[in-house]
Structure 1
Amino acid sequence: MSGAATGVPEGARVVLATHNAGKVRELRQLLEGAVPGLDASVAVVDAGAVGAPDIVEDGVTFAENALKKARAVAAHTGLIAVADDSGLAVDVLHGAPGIFSARWAGRHGDDRANLELLLAQLADVPDAHRGAEFVCAAALAVPSTADARGTHAIHVEHVEHGRLRGTLLRAPVGDGGFGYDPILRPDGREESTAQLSAADKNAISHRGHAFRALLPYLVDALDARP
């Protein structure tokens, strides 16, 4: 093992601040061919591969949470870091659950409880007013070289947003995806997000839009570093 910091796999150049293998695969696919000679399967690693610390997501916006994660991982590893934060924003709830999407029912990551609570809260809302959108903020943090104490300052930051508009269904439909996917029908589609193939979902998803918008800045950052 060698690299920018102890515990960083050899060849790693970008850390995606997540333990979600699907997100890592998506970023690798975006980078393939974007940087000549880059083997994205080696260059892009997840937070677990570098022993990154758990980050408390206490920001009040998606962008704040994404930046906090990217900064912490970049400072910890000395590598370029990318992070995202996302959730569901419901029109009649003035943007809620928003940053609380993953813990709407009180316990973080209980998708079923979150979904059931939201449906109950919207039970009397007519179809014409069930608009909502998935929102994602994707953040880039580029560290400087370490100082005498081994500390990496962050000298480049950038955030991009992506959105997927749709209508909330009255009951879950589909077995794919996760979170609120089974109850959002994207605009112009007949299926819920949970019924889309992985390729179709990535093409229109909030996270896909945010990552693709961030890609030129990530490529520039990679080109600027040896």
Structure 2
Amino acid sequence: MSAGAPRLVLATHNQGKLRELRDLLRGQVQGLDVDTQVVDAAAVGGPDVVEDGVSFAENSLLKARAVSAATGLVAIADDSGLAVDVLGGAPGIFSARWAGRHGDDQANLNLLLAQLSDVRDEHRGAAFVCAAALVAPAPDGGDPFEHVEYGELKGTLLREPRGEGGFGYDPILLPEGLDRSCAELSREEKNAISHRGHAFRALLPAIVRALS
């Protein structure tokens, strides 16, 4: 395998998630050039996967399995979303399509704010939740190696968006102990506390094992 050949594929087309993973892995795996060898699904012709699981973990495994099987590479996938206390954990696995169309961040955010407009500040607790899955092909053609880790970022929901960074619901979640929304944090600050950061860091030993 050439030095720049992909070794790890993130089962997403979201460039924000790919940047986060590359930042987290930079310098962590010996001999891994994250800028050329950690790629998204589009770079290796990974399939689109229907996320019809009923949990974050199930959806992340569905994506990682499909992309690893199609490419023969170690694959990582995450499924994440916003769990709002007064909505019983919703939007949850439906976070990316809460307003009806997948990936319309502004519509999703606007609908959620409208739904919570009468909820008092003390009841606006929420958390970003992430399940990150790794699937690595077995060298002998046997069952693949699979591993799932979880991460969470607790906070409260603002009444209007703040900040220009991040994506999704970042502009309206105020992390516990901070006075800035997730969208007002630098990439480094967000990665240090984010649900995805926690999940991917917990997954790091499995990534090292799979790439060794």
Shorter-normalised TM-score: what interval?
Answer: over 0.9
**2:28 alignment counterpart:** 34
Taking the aligned partners of 1:27 and 1:158, their CA distance within structure 2 comes to 17
Taking the aligned partners of 1:159 and 1:87, their CA distance within structure 2 comes to 16
Give the TM-score of the pair, scaled to structure 1: 0.88
Taking the aligned partners of 2:167 and 2:17, their CA distance within structure 1 comes to 13
Please list, as runs of the form range in 1=range in 2, the aligned pairs for 1:190-205 lying within 5 A after superposition: 190-205=179-194
**1:124 alignment counterpart:** 118
Q: Secondary structure of 2:50's match?
A: coil
**1:150 alignment counterpart:** none
Q: How much has 1:154 moved relative to structure 2?
A: 4.3
Q: How much has 1:123 moved relative to structure 2?
A: 1.3
**1:60 alignment counterpart:** 54
**2:136 alignment counterpart:** 142
The question of 1:111 aligning with 2:72 is answered no
Q: How much has 1:171 moved relative to structure 2?
A: 1.2
Q: Secondary structure of 1:113's match?
A: helix
Q: Secondary structure of 1:108's match?
A: coil
Question: Residue 213 of structure 1: which of 192, 199, 202 is its match?
Answer: 202
The question of 1:18 aligning with 2:7 is answered no
Contact 1:67/1:139, CA 8 A, preserved across alignment: yes
User: Does 174-183 or 210-219 show the bigger shift?
Assistant: 174-183
**Cα 1:172/1:32, change in 2 over 3 Å:** closer
Runs of 5+ consecutive residues of structure 2 not aligned to the other structure: none
**1:167 alignment counterpart:** 156
The structure 1 segments of at least 4 consecutive aligned residues displaced by more than 3 Å after TM superposition are: none
Taking the aligned partners of 2:200 and 2:74, their CA distance within structure 1 comes to 15
Runs of 5+ consecutive residues of structure 1 not aligned to the other structure: 4-8, 148-152
Taking the aligned partners of 1:218 and 1:129, their CA distance within structure 2 comes to 38
**Cα 1:29/1:195, change in 2 over 3 Å:** closer
Contact 2:78/2:132, CA 8 A, preserved across alignment: yes
Q: How much has 1:198 moved relative to structure 2?
A: 1.2
Q: Secondary structure of 2:166's match?
A: coil
Taking the aligned partners of 1:94 and 1:36, their CA distance within structure 2 comes to 43
Given residue 196 of structure 2, which amino acid in structure 1 is its aligned partner? R
Q: How much has 1:69 moved relative to structure 2?
A: 0.3
Instruction: Give the number of the structure whose alpha-carbon radius of gyration is greater.
Output: 1
Taking the aligned partners of 1:49 and 1:154, their CA distance within structure 2 comes to 25
RMSD of equivalent CA atoms: 1.8
User: Does 172-181 or 46-55 show the bigger shift?
Assistant: 172-181
**2:176 alignment counterpart:** 187
Taking the aligned partners of 1:14 and 1:30, their CA distance within structure 2 comes to 13
Taking the aligned partners of 2:109 and 2:200, their CA distance within structure 1 comes to 26
Q: Secondary structure of 1:189's match?
A: coil
Given residue 222 of structure 1, which amino acid in structure 2 is its aligned partner? L
Taking the aligned partners of 1:146 and 1:56, their CA distance within structure 2 comes to 28
Given residue 88 of structure 1, which amino acid in structure 2 is its aligned partner? L
**Per-residue deviation, residues 16-70 of structure 1 (Å, max 9, x unmatched):** 1112233223323333332322222232111011101100011111111100000
Taking the aligned partners of 1:30 and 1:201, their CA distance within structure 2 comes to 11
Taking the aligned partners of 1:44 and 1:206, their CA distance within structure 2 comes to 20
The count of corresponding residues between Structure 1 and Structure 2 is 212
